Amino acid sequence: CCTFGRIDADVFGIFTPYQGKEETVKQIEQAVENMKKLSASYNIMIVYGVYVVTDRSLPISFMCDRAALAAKTVKGHYMKSYAFYDDKMRLSIENEQNIINEMSDALENHEFVPYYQPKYDVKTNKPVGAEALARWIHPTKGFISPGVFIPIFEKNGFISKLDFYIWECVCKQLKEWKDKGVPLFPVSVNVSRVNLYNPNLSKIIIELTKKYDVAPKYFNIEITESVYTDDNVMIDDITSQLRNNGFTILMDDFGSGYSSLNVLKDVQVDMLKMDMMFMFKAKYDGRAETIISSVIRMAKWLNIPVIAEGVDKAEQVEFLKSVGCDYIQGFYYSKPLPAADYEKLISDQEEQPVPENGTSVNDLLWGKGGGLLTYIDNIDQPATIYECFPNGTVVMVCSNKAFSQKYGYGSSIYGKLNVKNCIDSECKEKFTSSVNKAIESKDRAECVLSMHEINGKKHWFKTHLRFVSETGVSSVLIAYFTDVTDMVLTDKRINEYKNYIQDEIDRKHKILIVSNNSDTRCQLEEILSQENTVFTAETIQAGKKLLLN
């Protein structure tokens, strides 16, 4: 027994006695099955919400609204077709509506303020910048969590106005710090998805920084990774305009999407941000660490620094340091701070030079006149270009034709090679020392190295290192190679033969002393007297004679 009817379009209502949750669901599903029998050509899928009447004084329209609200929570969830209304749904809608009602006045009354969460250099444990995060300080409710209002603003489009407001607040603050003589460090701001579809975005940001006389290198742009999957061409065009004007672009939440590597190959970004709160929730032990270290290694090869955010534990910091992460942002170092507190933090720091956007190894390789690559290609001697990072990593970013022709491989085939992985273990310390010497002196250094087999043969190189430039995140060296394999092998064979002769002489000496052969003993004593000097040809010849006796 029930009353039913069509409310609007494909929305229908049923009023029926309530006999418990399971029985109600069973009745509705049976009714749907009966409807399907009427026409086999239609695949009927029903999503419904159920409101159990507890207040008979409530108007019927309100009851229908509550059932519709419950249905809305499962729309698009194909594994679930129904939901029962509860008061949490109503309170959620009311809270959302209250935020919508107050958001415009809050913006006008400056209730939204930027908080600054510092980013720390893992090598120095000192702040080198910050991310500006929007906070809502309500006059009566106090702090309203960004997790509450940001999703609502993103849904209704108000996030666009909030973005512009926060950007201007940051520019004003940077101008104030500059005028007060406070050390300046880059501050990054978030750009929402809706603003990235604004064709005038680049112009707006450029004009805003000019208005407050803020150098672009101090105003960084963060774009979440998922945005790049929407329209790569348009996003790439916007980011290219900004980068060409000196702004630094950060890819936020790298690794939290589903196509990180695919996206990274097609876009130009200057830094990657990985959310450790996401990464360290791995289901299986060790997998997160393996992925993180691989991403950081890949970023090094692409000349892209990495910031790990959401770091709140000492063991996470130690791990990130061990795998070469560049910067860390999170509660372990600092929570987001009001402008005054952040100012106190950076006032005690020495301002670090911020590299202008575009100063990179790629610029050196392909710069005016063909760059370094053209230069080394015109050299007949095998040569490569090394990029050296502060954590000790040295990568070969490219090699010239002479190197590839002689040894059959180069960076053009294998990508950027970690040089230390190619050098024999006994030579790594010597190589590191020579690299450091060239960088510190900004001049030259040299050493002899043995490397793993190339074309089935082990090679020794006399390596000449020459300092070229610094990029802001690394140092660039040119390495010239003289193959000394034959010379080393000859010396090695002589030394091995000397050792062999010495061992045989020692053995014969013991035997002959026992036999008390005075002549042979004299000969041996004469030869053995040379043991602390380099063997001469005569000594070796004497040894041969003894072996023939």
Residue 191 in contact with residue 229, Cβ under 8 Å?
A: no
3-state secondary structure of 548: helix
**Phi and psi, residue 9, nearest 5°:** 50, -115
b/e map 453-466, b = 16+ CB within 10 Å:
eeeeeebbbebbbb
Distance separating alpha carbons of residues 314 and 299, to the nearest angstrom: 23
pLDDT band at 374 (very low <50, low <70, confident <90, very high): confident
Q: What single DSSP character describes residue 408?
A: S
Q: Which residues contact 411 (CB under 8 A, 6 or more apart)?
A: 384, 396, 397, 398, 399, 417
The stretches of 247-338 forming alpha helices (DSSP H) are 260-264, 276-279, 287-301, 314-322
Mark whether 43 and 14 lie in a shared domain: yes
Mark whether 79 and 120 lie in a shared domain: no
Which CB contacts under 8 angstroms, 24+ apart, belong to 161-165?
161/107, 162/107, 162/112, 162/134, 163/189, 163/190, 163/191, 163/192, 163/195, 164/195, 164/204, 165/107, 165/112
- The answer to whether residue 295 scores a pLDDT higher than 70 is yes
Question: Which region among 40-49, 90-99, 240-249, 457-466 has the lowest average model confidence (pLDDT)?
Answer: 40-49
What is the per-residue DSSP string for 316-339? Answer: HHHHHHHTT--EEESTTT---B-H
Residue 101, in any domain of the structure: no
Residue 214 in contact with residue 171, Cβ under 8 Å?
A: yes
Lookup result for tokens 């270290």: 293
Residue 365, in any domain of the structure: yes
**pLDDT digit string (tens) for 452-469?**
655 556 777 889 999 988
Mark whether 471 and 525 lie in a shared domain: no
Please name the amino acid found at residue 192: S
Distance separating alpha carbons of residues 178 and 217, to the nearest angstrom: 14
Mark whether 130 and 111 lie in a shared domain: yes
Q: Which residues contact 290 (CB under 8 A, 6 or more apart)?
A: none
**pLDDT digit string (tens) for 396-445?**
888 888 888 877 655 443 346 778 888 888 889 999 999 999 999 988 99
Mark whether 513 and 404 lie in a shared domain: no
Residue 424, in any domain of the structure: yes
Q: How many CB atoms lie within 10 A of CB 545?
A: 10
Q: Whole-model pTM?
A: 0.61
- The answer to whether residue 139 scores a pLDDT higher than 70 is yes
Mark whether 29 and 145 lie in a shared domain: no
Residue 414, in any domain of the structure: yes
Mark whether 161 and 296 lie in a shared domain: yes
Three-state secondary structure readout of 480-527:
EEEECHHHHHHHHHHHHHHHHHHHHHHHHHHHHHHHCCHHHHHHHHHH
b/e map 322-344, b = 16+ CB within 10 Å:
ebbbbbbbbebbbebbebeebbe
Encoded tokens for 115: 């908080």
pLDDT value of residue 354:
59
Q: What single DSSP character describes residue 473?
A: S
Domain stops at, among 287, 317, 347: 347
Distance separating alpha carbons of residues 316 and 333, to the nearest angstrom: 12
Lookup result for tokens 């050493």: 447
Angle between helix 518-528 and helix 537-548 axes, rounded to 10 deg: 150
* Best-predicted range by mean pLDDT (42-46, 382-386, 454-458): 382-386
pLDDT value of residue 201:
92
Mark whether 461 and 479 lie in a shared domain: yes
Mean pLDDT throughout 165-183? 95
Q: In Å, how far from its chain's centre is CA 26?
A: 51
Please name the amino acid found at residue 306: V
Q: Which residues contact 383 (CB under 8 A, 6 or more apart)?
A: 376, 399, 400, 402, 403, 478, 479, 480, 481
**pLDDT digit string (tens) for 512-538?**
444 445 555 555 555 555 544 444 555
Residue 223, in any domain of the structure: yes
Mark whether 126 and 259 lie in a shared domain: yes
Mean pLDDT throughout 30-43? 71
Give the range of the structural domain holding residue 504, as residue numbers without chain letter: 488-548
**Phi and psi, residue 130, nearest 5°:** -160, 165
More confident residue, 74 or 174: 174
- The answer to whether residue 501 scores a pLDDT higher than 70 is no
pLDDT value of residue 143:
92
As a whole-number percent, the residues of the chain with pLDDT over 70 amount to 74
**Phi and psi, residue 36, nearest 5°:** -65, -30
219-224 and 126-138 strand pairing: unpaired
Q: How many CB atoms lie within 10 A of CB 134?
A: 21
pLDDT value of residue 253:
81
Question: Which region among 243-247, 280-284, 386-390 has the lowest average model confidence (pLDDT)?
Answer: 280-284
Mark whether 372 and 301 lie in a shared domain: no
Residue 95, in any domain of the structure: no
Residue 455 in contact with residue 427, Cβ under 8 Å?
A: no
Angle between helix 159-180 and helix 201-211 axes, rounded to 10 deg: 30
For residue 249, give the CATH number of its domain.
3.20.20.450
Domain stops at, among 291, 312, 347: 347
Mark whether 426 and 513 lie in a shared domain: no
- The answer to whether residue 182 scores a pLDDT higher than 80 is yes
**Nearest to residue 295, comparing CAs of 312, 318, 277, 320?**
320
Q: What average pLDDT does the chain have?
A: 79
Residue 307, in any domain of the structure: yes
112-121 and 48-50 strand pairing: unpaired
Residue 92, in any domain of the structure: no
Distance separating alpha carbons of residues 246 and 273, to the nearest angstrom: 20
Distance separating alpha carbons of residues 435 and 89, to the nearest angstrom: 64
Mark whether 381 and 501 lie in a shared domain: no
More confident residue, 528 or 301: 301
Sign of the Cα torsion 139, 135, 121, 274 reads positive
Looking at the 3D structure of the chain, how many domains does it have? 4
Distance separating alpha carbons of residues 172 and 186, to the nearest angstrom: 14
Encoded tokens for 355: 């590299």
pLDDT value of residue 37:
72
Mean pLDDT throughout 468-486? 81
